[in-house]
């Protein structure tokens, strides 16, 4: 990321021609427009630049459409996919005149969440490390109408192509056997390395990359943790780089949670911890269990207590709940444990040093808006700390193999988006603290998600014809 004072020097050194202003809509996708570099004046940096907010999903009505983008110079990066040389700057959204933060701007929510954390006295900083999974397909087509609906996925690495009659070089991961194979079974090693190079050029420090469990090129590329706002920014930049690199190479990347029936879906396991400046707050030498401090335990309890509500932001699509079913490494059981990937919250045990103690909340998926999801998780954790909640004892069993009595004692995540949205309607007071979320934003989010879900649920799908067409 580039500091404001370096912008002019950067322009001269790199011969920058354009500035691209990026901002995030309510569902969580970047929007943008571009101006010649000479339009990036000191006034624009300080007072913003206007745009029409009425055409942005989840934003303003046409009768109050004028809005302002406030650029964050520290977020600036060179966008290698734009020609000639273009500087991209991530922006927050504000009202014209007053420049008051716009309550429905997801980036503004993240800013307010960080401020609330500090004002609460709980901690000065929160750190976030999301693990985004996705698929790189050779082809992804879909269509629907009054009397038809279809989709078709193809991948040179898909096990379904093992029977092709033309020259067939095989080497395709079987269902659920795609984790860590070497080339030639892993056909995407070099492509992921190319992506890593581009991520690092853009200032995202990558920790590892590998093929994930599913067939057909499922991937995971992990980057170094950071504070809430900067990490949410990097999630959007990460997606931008992967999608555009894929397009260059004749591939299509999707972060849809469950594109393949009968194989693993894509999650976004999210590591998180609290700090006071240089002091980690989740560690206690004699803390039980797993060196967890009381602060960490109460944070965990807050996540578990509010998990149904959190899923409205962390798993916000109807497709999310096709991933959240037992049997596909999906963390549906609301309990915590160490080393246990069947629990909703895992305490990693690779490193027991104070700085490494953290929790991993596993239900989120990469279809979420990271600004809203991270902020909601943080608010749930803070609520758990402020109320002194306790998560009880950890569950160190494979939760998919519990007997009926044990299973009945463990709550689960909601089974549908509608259930999650109903939970959000009933349980959202903790999100309103400090004005982080507003009732207007929550109401808009629920309406938007319900309308999109209704469009999906009203349509017959091919599986229904398979089951019911002969009645």
Q: 99-131 pLDDT, tens per residue? A: 999 999 999 999 999 999 999 999 999 999 999
Cα–Cα dist 420/449, whole Å: 10
User: Which pLDDT score is estimated for 5?
Assistant: 62
Of 104, 119, 178, 205, nearest to 448 by C-alpha is 104
Beta-carbon contacts of residue 423 (< 8 Å; ≥ 6 apart): 308, 309, 311, 312, 414
Paired strand residues for 223: 206
Q: Is the pLDDT of residue 328 over 80?
A: no
Beta-carbon contacts of residue 226 (< 8 Å; ≥ 6 apart): 127, 128, 129, 234
Cα–Cα dist 46/36, whole Å: 18
Annotated catalytic, 360? Answer: yes
Cα–Cα dist 186/195, whole Å: 15
pLDDT tens for residues 261-272?
A: 999 999 999 999
Catalytic residue, chosen from 133, 186, 263, 365, is 133
Catalytic residue, chosen from 105, 360, 365, 383, is 360
Query: What number is the average pLDDT over the span 132-161?
Result: 94
How many CB atoms sit inside 10 A of residue 388's CB? 10
pTM: 0.95
Every domain of the chain and the residues it spans: 4-102, 125-468
Query: What number is the average pLDDT over the span 236-249?
Result: 98
Among the CATH numbers 3.30.200.20, 3.40.605.10, 3.10.20.70, 1.20.1090.10, which is that of 4-102? Answer: 3.10.20.70
Q: Is the pLDDT of residue 460 over 80?
A: yes
User: How far is the CA of 356 from the CAs of 17, 118, 127, 228, 272, in angstroms?
Assistant: 43, 21, 11, 17, 10
Annotated catalytic, 269? Answer: yes
Dihedral angle, C-alpha 173, 178, 180, 186, nearest 10 °:
40
Of 427, 419, 321, nearest to 364 by C-alpha is 321
Mean pLDDT, rounded, of the chain: 93
Does this chain's domain 4-102 share its CATH topology with 125-468? no
Annotated catalytic, 346? Answer: no
Catalytic residue, chosen from 72, 220, 263, 383, is 220
What fold characterizes domain 125-468? Creatine Kinase; Chain A, domain 2 (3.30.590)
CA 451 to mean position of chain CA atoms: 21
Annotated catalytic, 220? Answer: yes
Annotated catalytic, 133? Answer: yes
Catalytic residue, chosen from 104, 291, 297, 362, is 362
Size of the chain, expressed as the number of residues it contains? 471
Q: How does 208-240 read in b/e, with b if 16+ C-beta sit within 10 Å?
A: ebbbbbbbbbbbbbbbebbebbbbbbbbbbbbb
User: Which pLDDT score is estimated for 153?
Assistant: 96
Q: Is the dihedral of CA 241, 244, 248, 252 positive or negative?
A: positive
Kindly indicate the confidence band of residue 463, based on its pLDDT and cuts at 50, 70 and 90.
very high
Annotated catalytic, 52? Answer: yes
Paired strand residues for 77: 88
Q: Is the pLDDT of residue 3 over 60?
A: no
CA 216 to mean position of chain CA atoms: 22
Catalytic residue, chosen from 269, 323, 358, 428, is 269
Catalytic residue, chosen from 72, 212, 230, 284, is 212
User: Which pLDDT score is estimated for 102?
Assistant: 94
User: Which pLDDT score is estimated for 6?
Assistant: 65
Cα–Cα dist 364/375, whole Å: 13
Catalytic residue, chosen from 72, 79, 105, 131, is 131
Q: What is the 3-state secondary structure (H, E, C) of the chain?
A: CECHHHHHHHHHHHCCCEEEEEEECCCCCEEEEEEEHHHCCHHHHHHCEEEEHHHCCCCCCHHHCEEEEEECHHHEEECCCCCCCEEEEEEEEECCCCCCECCCCHHHHHHHHHHHHHHHCCCCEEEEEEEEEEEEECEEEEEECCCCEEEEEECCCCHHHHHCCCCCCCCCCCCCCCCCCCCCCCCCHHHHHHHHHHHHHCCCCEEEEEECCCCCCEEEEEECCEEHHHHHHHHHHHHHHHHHHHHHCCCEEECCCCCCCCCCCCCEEEEEEEEECCEECCECCCCCCCCECHHHHHHHHHHHHCHHHHHHHHCCCCCHHHHCCCCCCCCCEEEEEECCCCEEEEECCCCCCHHHCCEEECCCCCCCCHHHHHHHHHHHHHHHHHCCCCCCCCCCCCHHHCCHHHHHCCCECCCCHHHHHHHHHHCCHHHHHHHCCCHHHHHHHHHHHHHHHHHHHCCCCHHHHHHHCCC
Annotated catalytic, 425? Answer: no
Question: Residue 235: how many CA atoms within 13 Å on its side-chain side?
Answer: 32
pLDDT tens for residues 18-57?
A: 999 999 999 999 999 999 998 988 899 889 999 999 899 9
Paired strand residues for 23: 31
pLDDT tens for residues 368-408?
A: 999 999 999 999 999 999 999 999 999 887 777 778 888 88
Catalytic residue, chosen from 39, 52, 100, 288, is 52
């Amino acid at each position: 990321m580039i500091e404001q004072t370096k912008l002019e020097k950067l322009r001269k050194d790199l011969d920058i021609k354009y500035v691209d202003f990026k901002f995030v809509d309510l569902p969580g996708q970047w929007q943008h427009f571009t101006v010649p570099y000479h339009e990036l004046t000191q006034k624009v940096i300080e007072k913003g630049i206007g745009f029409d907010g009425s055409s942005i999903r989840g934003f303003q009505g046409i009768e109050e459409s004028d809005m302002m983008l406030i650029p964050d110079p520290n977020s600036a990066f060179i966008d290698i996919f734009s020609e000639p040389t273009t500087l991209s700057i991530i922006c927050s959204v504000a009202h014209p005149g007053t420049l008051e933060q716009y309550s429905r701007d997801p980036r503004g929510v993240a800013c307010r969440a960080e401020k609330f954390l500090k004002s609460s006295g709980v901690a000065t900083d929160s750190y976030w490390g999301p693990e985004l999974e996705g698929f790189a397909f050779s082809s992804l087509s879909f269509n629907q109408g009054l009397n038809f609906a279809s989709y078709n996925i193809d991948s040179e690495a898909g096990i379904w192509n093992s029977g092709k009659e033309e020259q067939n070089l095989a080497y395709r991961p079987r269902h659920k056997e795609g984790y860590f194979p070497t080339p030639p079974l892993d056909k995407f090693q070099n492509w992921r390395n190319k992506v890593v190079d581009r991520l690092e050029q853009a200032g995202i420090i990558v920790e590892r990359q590998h093929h994930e469990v599913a067939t057909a090129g499922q991937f995971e590329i992990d980057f170094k943790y950071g504070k809430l706002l900067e990490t949410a920014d990097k999630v959007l930049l990460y997606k931008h780089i992967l999608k555009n690199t894929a397009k260059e190479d004749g591939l299509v990347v999707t972060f849809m949670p469950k594109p393949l029936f009968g194989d693993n879906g894509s999650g976004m396991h999210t590591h998180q911890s609290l700090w006071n400046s240089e002091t980690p707050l989740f560690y206690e030498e004699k803390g039980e269990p797993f060196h967890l401090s009381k602060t960490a335990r109460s944070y965990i309890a807050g996540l578990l207590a509010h998990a149904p509500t959190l899923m409205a932001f962390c798993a916000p699509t109807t497709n999310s709940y096709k991933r959240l079913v037992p049997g596909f490494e999906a963390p549906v059981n609301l309990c915590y444990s160490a080393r246990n990937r069947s629990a909703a919250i895992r305490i990693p045990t690779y490193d027991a040093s104070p700085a490494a103690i953290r929790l991993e909340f596993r239900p989120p998926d990469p279809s979420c808006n990271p600004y809203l999801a991270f902020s909601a998780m943080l608010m749930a954790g803070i609520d758990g700390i402020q109320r002194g909640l306790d998560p009880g004892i950890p569950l160190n069993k494979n939760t998919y193999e519990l007997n009926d009595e044990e299973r009945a004692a463990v709550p689960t995540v909601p089974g549908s988006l509608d259930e999650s949205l109903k939970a959000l309607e009933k349980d959202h007071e903790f999100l309103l603290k400090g004005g982080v979320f507003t009732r207007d934003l929550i109401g808009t989010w629920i309406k938007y998600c319900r309308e999109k879900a209704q469009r999906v649920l009203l349509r017959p799908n091919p599986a229904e014809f398979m089951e019911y067409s002969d009645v």
